[in-house]
């Protein structure tokens, strides 16, 4: 039973990332990477918006009964995203203006979901 719930959770997350990616493409963003990993940290979406490199954290939830999706981006997650971004820049030898966004996808199917894009959602942590 636990494995089925985890599989459903993973499927929901993948679906949410697909929705967020398509949303960004429709808004004119250039997607550079998806699910970029360094050690146990990852960046959901790395994109270009104009002259900015945008690191997008995607949070998907079935509903907002217990908490809003964006509230899951706490100081630990921000620190992890900052470290992963630093490594991404280093590995790819990128020097650019950086922005951290959050996209929340709430729902369970294409017809009944809402997408919220929070630009400049947080500042990077000191590492």
The pLDDT, as a whole number, for residue 3 is 45
Mean pLDDT by 10 residues, the chain (127 residues): 50 91 98 95 97 96 67 90 96 95 89 91 85
Point out which residues pair with 101 in neighbouring strands: 56
Looking at residue 22, its pLDDT comes to 97
- The alpha carbon of residue 107 and the mean position of all alpha carbons in its chain are separated, in whole angstroms, by 16
């Amino acid at each position: 039973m636990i494995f089925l719930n985890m599989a459903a959770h993973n499927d929901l997350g993948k679906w949410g990332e697909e929705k967020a990616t398509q949303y960004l493409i429709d808004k004119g963003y250039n997607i550079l990477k998806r699910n970029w990993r360094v050690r146990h940290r990852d960046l959901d979406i790395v994109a270009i918006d104009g002259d900015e490199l945008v690191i997008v954290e995607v949070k998907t939830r079935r509903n907002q009964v217990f908490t809003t999706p964006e509230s899951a981006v706490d100081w630990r997650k921000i620190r992890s995203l900052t470290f992963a971004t630093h490594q991404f820049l280093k590995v790819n030898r990128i020097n650019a203006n950086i922005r951290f966004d959050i996209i929340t996808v709430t729902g369970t199917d294409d017809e009944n979901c809402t997408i919220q894009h929070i630009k400049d959602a947080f500042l990077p942590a000191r590492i």
